[in-house]
Amino acid sequence: MTDPTDPRDPLFADMAAQMRPDETVVRALDAQLVAEQSTVVTLQPGTHPAGPRSRWSRPTVWIAAAAALVLAVGIGGGVLLSRDGGSPVVGPSGSVPADYHAVYVAVAQAAGVGPTPAPVPTRPGGADPTFNAPPPDASWDDRPVPDDVDMAEEAEPSAKEPSADGAPAQRSPSSDDDHTSTNVQVANIDEADIVKTDGKRLYVVTGTHVSVVELAGPKTRKLAQVDVATADRWLSVVDLLLDDTTLVVIGETPSGASTKRSGSDRSVDTVVQLYDITKPSAPSLRSTVRQSGEYRTARLWQGKVYLVSDFTVYGYEIDEDDPTTFVPLVSDRKGTKLVAPSDVTLMPDPADARYAVATALDVRTGAHTGQQAVLGGADTVYMSAQNLYMGGTSTSRSGGSTTLVRLALADGQMSVAAYGEVPGKLLNQFALDEHGDDLRVVTTARDHRGTTSNLYVLSADLRLVGSVSDMAPGEQVKSVRFAGDVGYVVTFRQTDPLFAINLSDPAHPQVMSELKIPGFSAYLHPWDDGHLVGLGMAGTNAGLSGGFKLSLFDVSNPYDVTQTHELAVPGDHCPAMDDHHAVFVDTKNDLIGFSVQAPDGLHYLVYQVNPAYGFTVQHDLLLMPRGWESGPVRAVRAGDYLYVSWGASASGTVGAFELTTGTMVAQTAI
């Protein structure tokens, strides 16, 4: 794999050469090492100090034993079955602060500054104020399920709403007005991406501006350009959403003079600009809104933009008397304001002083209809029609755990409805799925035994209803996809077990089948009722072979999942493996596509998917001979043409190709 930025500027080598430890520091370390050595010898009377050093010498065993005990207590004190209402209710005690002073105490503690904090003054809020630690020998795995456990009613997704089970209502994306759209997790809930289309025009982000391209086959041409810099010189555009006649442009800009924070040169705000595109050749800026933090993700649902940003507070910036130094700011055309204490949730033991800032914005009025800030961050965000879930990292358990906050959405308002916690980490947004009132979660946890994969079913209160744990110990979760009553989990060490898990009884999820094949799938896509498409890395029984592959799985009988077809995919680099937006899906024509980087240049590959015949290469478009594209590549089909955009980070291009022949009929710079 060649890299385009070699040779690197000598400045970096010069800087690297200066970053050396001082002699005094190295000598101090050596002295410490010698002192440690003596301590070890003292603790092992009778052991010859010069002998071979056993890994399990006494101090190490102590530490391992202490860690295991902490783990048992942690898990025992965590999420617990409580469907019968009689057993103690436990969970993380997320709290709503009474005032900014309470927020200050929590943030200062998370940032590691200030005096030893007194207990945070709070008022009971949210769903779960009590926290009772059970006796240390309790292990939540061993708790028997009470006989009178109620089973959740399976809610039938109504035809009008997007499938609450997270599976695409038809194969996603749906083809309205004969064009394809962004490949999203939940049908009809749009996710922001660098390319958006309404079938007639394509809107593409290029970092400093947004290009409007008229999609007209051979007459495809650039129509206009939205210069975001006119409104904000430092704005770097990241994502787009499209709602009827409004183009939503999302970007980041340094906080700069908008705050009084002394360290403001290091902090970033997320900005949303709303442009009127009634006349697409002349987009006009209607309003701008802003919130503290780096952009994380955004969704569009029923005329509201739900935006999440990640706001870090630095210890040395905190001024107890000035909430603007430790509370996020949100601004719209009504003005700039601090998030109110009643809209803040403090999660216990956050890994950093980091907030997830979630806002709801009405696209038509340009005003915020709701905002929430959660101290505990949101590394993963998943949205269904009713709720926005945010998964953050907590250090309350050794091995790490994920805190979950459920924000209920109603008419654009947001309110914290529940919090919960599960051991382990989430892979990505696909590891969360709402089905009826339940939330299904897949995590990879690390403990003294190694890594394990677990699936949890949580109630609306984010309490544990059922679980499957310890799937494939020693392996990592590589991909997850939920489809109604079945969840598919791919784990990997050397071979790829694809687990099909029966979720129809939330209290007793069961592994129905485990298919082991070499390599692994990084992305799973339900393709009609009986099939799953997987995109991943190829392998043999000896390990990964380094190439990519498409797999077709027959899941019509989840108790006997088989791989029916597999096709090697050429190339060295396939961004679609990590970014589901990079996957092009055209349900009308049974096509799937994505870009790959090969030694001879950048290709766009389009395959036809047929459950009987497998994958057939329809097109292999060489977009950049001998070129390298480190930025995202996207394709859209509108009418009988395939439009591909690439090169946005340098000199962007949109190409128009005949869908049947793959011939390029137009190309325009953007």
Partner 1 sequence: MPAATVEPSASTGLVDTRAVVTCYQDMVYRIAVTHTQCRGDADDVFQEVFLAYHRRQPECRDDEHRKAWLITTTVNIARRVSTSSWRTRVVPLHGETVDAALQPFRFRTELQDAVARAMSALAYEYRTVLHLFYFDDLPVATIAEVLGLTPGAVKMRLSRGRSLMRTLLHEGLFDD
In whole angstroms, how close is the CB of 505 to partner 1 at the nearest point?
A: 35
Question: Can you tell me which of 42, 46, 50, 158 binds partner 1, judged by CB under 8 A?
Answer: 50
Question: Can you tell me which of 193, 252, 421, 433 binds partner 1, judged by CB under 8 A?
Answer: 252
β-strand partners of 373 = 344, 357
In whole angstroms, how close is the CB of 514 to partner 1 at the nearest point?
A: 24
In whole angstroms, how close is the CB of 643 to partner 1 at the nearest point?
A: 22
In whole angstroms, how close is the CB of 257 to partner 1 at the nearest point?
A: 15
Distance (Å, rounded) from C-alpha 362 to C-alpha 383?
Answer: 17
Binding segment (CB under 8 A) for partner 1, from list 79-87, 110-118, 279-287, 368-376: 110-118
Binding segment (CB under 8 A) for partner 1, from list 11-19, 150-158, 179-187, 271-279: 11-19
User: Which DSSP string corresponds to 550-619?
Assistant: EEEEE-SSTTS-EEEEEEEE--SB-GGGT-GGG-EEETTTTEEEEEEEETTEEEEEEEEEETTTEEEEEE
Q: Which two tokens stand for residue 527?
A: 């393709």
Q: Cβ of 513: how many Cβ atoms within 10 Å? A: 17
Question: Can you tell me which of 42, 45, 46, 52 binds partner 1, judged by CB under 8 A?
Answer: 52
Note the Cα 287 to chain centre separation in Å.
28
Binding segment (CB under 8 A) for partner 1, from list 71-79, 210-218, 263-271, 452-460: 263-271
Distance (Å, rounded) from C-alpha 119 to C-alpha 105?
Answer: 9
Binding segment (CB under 8 A) for partner 1, from list 218-226, 406-414, 577-585, 636-644: 577-585
Distance (Å, rounded) from C-alpha 120 to C-alpha 532?
Answer: 49
Binding segment (CB under 8 A) for partner 1, from list 10-18, 360-368, 402-410, 491-499: 10-18
Residues 346-405 contacting partner 1, CB under 8 A: 352-353
Question: Can you tell me which of 269, 310, 437, 461 binds partner 1, judged by CB under 8 A?
Answer: 310
Question: Can you tell me which of 71, 432, 550, 577 binds partner 1, judged by CB under 8 A?
Answer: 577
Please say which residue, 200 or 260, places its beta carbon nearer to partner 1.
260
Binding status of residue 493 toward partner 1 by CB under 8 A: no
Question: Can you tell me which of 107, 472, 522, 533 binds partner 1, judged by CB under 8 A?
Answer: 522
Distance (Å, rounded) from C-alpha 146 to C-alpha 309?
Answer: 41
Which residues have a Cβ under 8 Å from the Cβ of 629 and sit 6 or more positions away?
Answer: 595, 597, 602, 623, 646, 647, 649
Binding status of residue 18 toward partner 1 by CB under 8 A: yes
Q: Beginning with the edge strand found earlier in the chain, give each strand of the sheet holding 335-338 in spatial order.
A: 236-243, 246-254, 268-276, 284-292, 329-332, 335-338
Binding status of residue 32 toward partner 1 by CB under 8 A: yes
**Which residue bears the tokens 């591909």?**
644
Binding status of residue 335 toward partner 1 by CB under 8 A: no
Question: Can you tell me which of 27, 60, 177, 336 binds partner 1, judged by CB under 8 A?
Answer: 60
Distance (Å, rounded) from C-alpha 183 to C-alpha 174?
Answer: 9
Report the greatest alpha carbon distance in the chain: 87
In whole angstroms, how close is the CB of 284 to partner 1 at the nearest point?
A: 25
Distance (Å, rounded) from C-alpha 281 to C-alpha 201?
Answer: 10
Binding status of residue 84 toward partner 1 by CB under 8 A: no
Q: Report yes or no: 399 and 447 within 8 Å, Cβ to Cβ.
A: yes
Q: Which two tokens stand for residue 587?
A: 């349900």
Binding status of residue 239 toward partner 1 by CB under 8 A: no
Instruction: Verify cis geometry, omega within 30 degrees of 0, for the bond prior to 173.
Output: yes
Q: Which two tokens stand for residue 384?
A: 């269904």
Binding status of residue 650 toward partner 1 by CB under 8 A: yes
Question: Can you tell me which of 129, 217, 254, 614 binds partner 1, judged by CB under 8 A?
Answer: 254
Question: Can you tell me which of 134, 315, 614, 639 binds partner 1, judged by CB under 8 A?
Answer: 315
Note the Cα 321 to chain centre separation in Å.
35
Distance (Å, rounded) from C-alpha 341 to C-alpha 598?
Answer: 52
In whole angstroms, how close is the CB of 325 to partner 1 at the nearest point?
A: 14
Q: Site size for partner 1, by CB under 8 A? A: 67
Binding segment (CB under 8 A) for partner 1, from list 21-29, 320-328, 367-375, 505-513: 21-29
Binding status of residue 53 toward partner 1 by CB under 8 A: yes
Residue 170: half-sphere exposure toward Cβ, Cα within 13 Å? 9
The residues that touch partner 1, with contacts defined as CB under 8 A, are: 1, 3-5, 8-9, 11-12, 14-16, 18-22, 25-26, 28-30, 32-34, 36-37, 40, 49-50, 52-53, 55, 59-60, 110-113, 207, 234, 236, 252, 254, 265-268, 294, 310, 312, 315-316, 352-353, 522, 572-575, 577-579, 630-632, 649-650
